[in-house]
């Protein structure tokens, strides 16, 4: 058994040597036919070339171009016709701060525009009642007015103020004196006559050179075709004349007697629509 193991080991070693040296050249002869042998060419074992693997090229991803937004032009609207502004029908109004002659006053011979106001008087002693019509106010049936009056110089027992409801030679007068007396009466041009409706001493009247604010409203009365006259001074109602005929009438500034001068300012007149 020992010799057999040695023989096997030697055979294995020889096999390894032969494999390392490569295959020997083969000198083979073809089988003999007859007496003359044919020599076969010597074959040489060549190494078989391992085919090279062609690596597929890595395909590059061509980015899909992003679409450029297409702007659709919007239609430009055609210019529309803009009508010129017209006065909206409504109540008539006339304001005058007396900073200059507005042309809205008539029969104001002894008048001057001084220090931002209208200075009236003194008048000649030819008449006991002097009217200055507000021609800029026109003639309306229902309206309201206000004005400020300040005594400047002259006799303190004389009256100054406003007149309203002037129609057919008659008008209502609302006047005060620096002695804190007020009077409301109806004056008739023909004969220069008076009907006194109310006359009182009142603390509502600011005395001396203080400024007083006159306010009169002619408004529709309860009975159709009539009007109420509301007389106010310095924000306080002092007299109401009810149920007088509703007719178109004129208004203005007025002074009773003469030898007195008064400054008027901030006139306001507005028609009242029934």
pLDDT by residue (tens digit) across 208-241? 999 999 999 999 999 999 999 999 999 999 999 9
Give this prediction's pTM.
Answer: 0.68
**What are the DSSP calls for the chain, one per residue?**
-HHHHHHHHHHHHHHHHHHHH-PPPB--BPPPBTTBPPBPPPB---PPPPPPPPPPPPPP-PPPPPPPPPPPPPPPPPPPP-PPP-PPP---EEEE--SS--S-B-S-TTEEEETTEEEE-PPPTT-SEEEEEBTTT--BSSEEEEEEEEEEEE-TT-EEEEEEEEETTEEEEEEEETTTEEEEEEEETTTTEEEEEEEEE-TTSPPTT-EEEEEEEEEE-SSTTEEEEEEEETTEEEEEEEEEE---BEEEEEEESSSEEEEEEEEEEEE---
pLDDT tens by residue, 134-159: 999 999 999 999 999 999 999 888 99
Domain boundaries, the chain: 93-271
Q: Model confidence over 80-128: pLDDT tens digits?
A: 655 554 555 679 999 999 999 999 998 777 889 998 999 998 888 777 8
Given this model, what pLDDT does residue 233 score?
Answer: 98
CATH 2.60.120.200 at 93-271, yes or no: yes
User: Could you tell me what percent of the chain has a pLDDT over 70?
Assistant: 68
- pLDDT tens by residue, 241-263: 999 999 999 999 999 888 899 99
């Amino acid at each position: 058994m020992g010799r057999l193991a040695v023989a096997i080991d030697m055979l294995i070693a020889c096999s390894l040597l032969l494999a390392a040296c490569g295959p020997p050249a083969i000198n083979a002869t073809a089988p003999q036919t007859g007496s003359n042998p044919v020599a076969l060419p010597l074959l040489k074992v060549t190494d078989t070339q391992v085919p090279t693997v062609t690596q597929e090229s890595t395909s590059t991803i061509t980015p899909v171009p992003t679409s450029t937004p297409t702007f659709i032009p919007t239609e430009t609207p055609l210019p529309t016709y803009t009508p010129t502004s017209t006065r909206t029908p409504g109540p008539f109004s006339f304001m005058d701060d007396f900073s200059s002659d507005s042309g809205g006053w008539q029969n104001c011979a002894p008048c001057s525009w001084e220090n931002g106001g209208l200075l009236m008087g003194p008048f000649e002693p030819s008449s006991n009642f002097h009217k200055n019509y507000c021609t800029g106010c026109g003639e309306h049936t229902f309206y309201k007015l206000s004005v400020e009056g300040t005594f400047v110089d002259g006799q303190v027992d004389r009256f100054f103020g406003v007149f309203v409801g002037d129609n057919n030679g008659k008008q209502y007068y609302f006047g005060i004196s620096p002695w804190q007396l007020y009077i409301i009466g109806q004056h008739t041009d023909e004969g220069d006559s008076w009907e006194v409706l109310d006359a009182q001493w009142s603390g509502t009247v600011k005395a001396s050179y203080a400024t007083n604010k006159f306010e009169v409203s002619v408004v529709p009365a309860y009975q159709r075709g009539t009007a109420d006259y509301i007389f106010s001074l310095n924000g306080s109602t002092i007299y109401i004349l009810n149920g007088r005929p509703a007719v178109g009438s004129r208004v203005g500034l007025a002074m009773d007697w003469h030898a007195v001068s008064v400054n008027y300012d901030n006139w306001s007149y507005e028609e009242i629509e029934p």
